[in-house]
Amino acid sequence: MATISDEERDGNGINQTPLRIPELLYVSVKMENPIRALAGNLFPHVFCSSALLGDCLDSSKAILMERESASMWELSFVVPQNHEALDFKFLLKPKDDNSPCFLEEGPNRVLVAGALQDGARLASFKLDNDHAVEYKVFVQASKVSSFDLAASWRAYKENFHPSAVRGIPDVSINSEVQTESENVSSASLELDLEHYVVPAPSSSPNSSAVYAADMTENPRSRNSGYGSNSYSAGDDSGYVDQPETEMEVNTLVPSRVYECRKLVKSLSVGTMSTLRKEDGQRGPFVDRGVGFPRIVKSSSLKSFTVDLSLDTDTENSFPAAAGAVAAGAVADQMLGPKEDKHLAIVMVSLPARGKTFTAAKLTRYLRWLGHNTKHFNVGKYRRLKHGASQSADFFRADNPEGIEARNEVAKLAFEDMITWMQEGGQVGIFDATNSSKQRRNMLMKLAEGRCKIIFLETICNDVDMIERNIRFKIQQSPDYAEVPDFEAGLRDFKTRVANYEKVYETVEEGSYIKMIDMASGRGGQIQVNNISGYLPGRIVFFLMNTHLTPRPILLTRHGESQDNVRGRIGGDPALSEAGELYKQKLAKFVGKRLKSERAASIWTSTLQRTILTAGPIVGFPKIQWRALDEIDAGVCDGMTYQEIKKNMPEEYESRKKDKLRYRYPRGESYLDVIQRLEPVIIELERQRAPVVVVSHQAVLRALYAYFTDRPLKEIPHMEVPLHTIIEIELGVTGVQEKRYKLMD
């Protein structure tokens, strides 16, 4: 079994006499949520009696902790690995004054080798009138080499000093940007946020909390199809891109227009691909995504053949994804055992530990990457077969009728999942407590030779979080919809949890992933055992970066650009007059919406129309991502759709046929955009503070589809209008959306 943590780093396994590099400890001391301190103008400090932190015996020289997020303060420092004992206490006092001053109660804390000797996790303070308060504290330590530390410092200095990219800093911290607000009427900068609210699309999440189990698959006996979440997109021909302003069509340079296609055989892999001739050059080109040759395995031979049909229905083929995703899927099919083609993620947990929420989140992520994934919730099967009003006695371990009934619906749900896999599904998320070895052994026998099982166990020891989850479940679960007395429902559910706790057995068998106290985003641990392969590795990486901390993500396109006015795609134009107005209104909006946030950040692409749009926003760091750049239109960059239709009719029709997989010549497809956005998604999941993303239409369509769990085929047609802010609220209740339209 391997335990993944920040403290461990894998070596390269080469047996050489290594260069002796001094190892240091990067220590992070944190204090959680000193609300009373902030209200009383008191801030957390570290009062140290060791020379390692300046030998500050004088409380006036205590070191101020920095705010890491809305609820966490941090002090980080580097010490030798074998450093002397570091004595310190926490202190509450004003920033620039020494009175009042409240020192932590009890003896000094002692830090040796990055670990607290007494293990205490609470800091107690006795404030005015002998009122005592306690705050949680944490200490984390990671090994770093002096070389790594020097490299980090160089990177910090390079990134946080302005550089000249179009005269605008790559990364700026609270930079004061001159605005033109004096040229904008006060009426046009209305600050009543609700004044701007507009309805979200009908297919988006509701503004109210959604119970995740209700969004899972229905039993097949109640459906003619695959379940309640079987998506179908409308006819693509109904979507036509209209430039915002009609204009005269210019004649293109002949050398920019592609000639006819031909099929050639690749000598390296023996498959067919399209050949294009441009500027007198001949040779095979990388597939552009539409009508690509489909790899089909022979039923009698261990080989793959090529299907040259232009059928775009990939429901039963490997995932319709790009780059690494498609390569990983093909490798799994060609090299893996038969059952590895289908993967079952079997959840394991006590109730109210975030199991269903984690399952829904993982389902959304895998679908967005292009893997055919469905979420099967056994509780939903139980309610449909045995009713929703079962009391806690139904879940007792000494109730044979209840055990038989629960095993029956578990088998039914598992068989439905296997049947769906055999019809083309790839990853099934099997959502139930599965809290005993007996139940898990039953599932492993059902899966033999049919699919690979990975157990995903969620363990939570945070009493407050468990209590919040229980109360949310009583409010939202259909099990208690007909229980008018909230307290009675609460008592019944806690009895149900106690029944499970009596017989709960943690996972120690097979392949498994354990998430231990990961929900809060304040550390925790992931343990993995017998995990290998492309997709399981991606799942582990994703789970390492998820948590339940509520925070908003604001998505907005740049202000209207000069090319928007002309109807041209791509390019790197400046803003139009309307775009200049929008950037001022956006700054006002963000300033009010996030006025209580200190750890928020502004993300833009590297194109000037997003950088200029975010320019007037002050008080937050601004970070440019090349991954947030607009879809690359290749040789069509700077053209209008009418020009493409007239001069490149074949390209125009190919794009109209399948906008999702169509790749502009020498450019990108929507699937390419999704692939390069995956690091952005991981970082958005990891963030615990609000993020404002100022980007482009294709990019925001892909991001919006991820958060709202929309099918890939719908992405190119989603509504992401100019001068509108889409607020996505992430938290334990799921994902809610709100839209603000700042300009007509």
Q: Is 371 annotated as a binding residue?
A: no
Q: Which of 104, 580, 630, 651 is catalytic?
A: 630
Q: Which of 431, 492, 632, 658 is catalytic?
A: 431
The span from the CA of 573 to the CA of 561, in Å, is 6
In this structure, what token pair is assigned to residue 429? 């998320």
Q: Is 300 annotated as a binding residue?
A: no
What is the SS3 assignment for 313?
coil
Q: Is there a catalytic annotation at residue 636? A: no
Q: Is 561 annotated as a binding residue?
A: yes
The span from the CA of 397 to the CA of 578, in Å, is 66
- Residue 473: which of 579, 388, 568, 553 has the closest Cα? 388
Q: State the CB neighbour count (10 A cutoff) for residue 320.
A: 23
Sequence-separated (6 or more) residues with CB below 8 Å from residue 577: none
Cβ atoms 702, 328 nearer than 8 A: no
Q: Is 560 annotated as a binding residue?
A: yes
Q: Is there a catalytic annotation at residue 460? A: yes
Q: Is 593 annotated as a binding residue?
A: no
Q: Which of 45, 547, 558, 696 is catalytic?
A: 558
Q: Is there a catalytic annotation at residue 342? A: no
DSSP 383-405: HHHH-S---GGGG-TT-HHHHHH
What is the SS3 assignment for 457?
strand
DSSP 479-507: GGTT---HHHHHHHHHHHHHHHHHH----
Q: Which of 48, 56, 451, 460 is catalytic?
A: 460
Q: Is there a catalytic annotation at residue 643? A: no
Sequence-separated (6 or more) residues with CB below 8 Å from residue 489: 474, 480, 483
Q: Is 557 annotated as a binding residue?
A: yes
As beta bridge partners, residue 730 has 551, 735
Q: Is 563 annotated as a binding residue?
A: yes
Cβ atoms 87, 110 nearer than 8 A: yes
Give all strands of the β-sheet with 512-516 in edge-to-edge order.
2-4, 525-529, 512-516, 452-459, 343-348, 427-431, 373-377
The span from the CA of 98 to the CA of 264, in Å, is 79
Q: Is 562 annotated as a binding residue?
A: yes
Cβ atoms 624, 611 nearer than 8 A: yes
Q: Is 222 annotated as a binding residue?
A: no
The span from the CA of 710 to the CA of 735, in Å, is 13
Cβ atoms 692, 379 nearer than 8 A: no
Which residues are designated catalytic?
431, 460, 558, 630
Cite the annotated binding site by residue number: 557-564, 609
Cite the annotated binding site for substrate by residue number: 557-564, 609
